[in-house]
Amino acid sequence: MSASVEKRYKWRREDYRENTKGLLMVNTGDGKGKTTAALGVVIRAAGRGLKCAVIQFMKSKHDRYGEHESLEKLGIEIHTMGDGFTWDTNDKTQDIKTSEETWALCVEKLRSEEYELLVFDELVYVLDYKFLDLNAVLEEIRAVRASQPHLHIIATGRNAPAELIEAADLVTEMKEIKHPFHAGIYAQQGIEF
């Protein structure tokens, strides 16, 4: 392999922050795979030595999911903060309180200057349900991106607001074509959780 090809592919961790344009990425749509795609990026980033954290807004903090087992084995930080999805809790006041507490942890991680990639799983749902103020969330993200231009952020969930899409650098829409649930096949361990 020639020296120029080697240099192009060689990962030089010490230059990472100086030579990186942090991206705001949004995985949205009614199809399956939004969180899974975000976790794939986390695994790739961690494999390159980036410090990553995943914060989940709605999945129940009392449950353990496959991603917990895998990410913890890889030394990747994951925080599951939710009370279950809104159709589980049926308590909007509690959902708002939990969303605010979870966003406070996100802000702490954003401002810490310790990370290269943060995933805010299910944040888009919370914004769609208006459990958090969209403008306040976007302003915080804008401010942090200005002060930490290397930081990558991924937000997931259905029905991404137009303002979030406009602010993002990369938006991927998962579209459902066919889903096993409609054939009576329910969520399965290792596939959905």
Category of 55 on φ-ψ map: left (φ > 0), alpha (ψ -120 to 50) or beta: beta
* Averaged pLDDT, 157-162: 97
Residue 7 belongs to a domain: no
User: Could you tell me if 85 and 98 are in contact, meaning their C-beta atoms sit under 8 angstroms apart?
Assistant: no
Model confidence, pTM: 0.86
| pLDDT tens profile 74-123 | 999 999 998 876 555 678 899 999 999 999 999 999 999 999 999 999 99
The pLDDT assigned to 14 comes to 60
Summary mean pLDDT of the chain = 88
* CATH code where residue 64 lies: 3.40.50.300
Residue 155 belongs to a domain: yes
Residue 6 belongs to a domain: no
Tell me which residue range forms the domain holding 147: 19-183
Residue 192 belongs to a domain: no
Residue 188 belongs to a domain: no
| pLDDT tens profile 131-144 | 999 999 999 999 99
Q: What's the token pair of residue 39?
A: 């976790």
Q: Which amino acid is at 113?
A: E
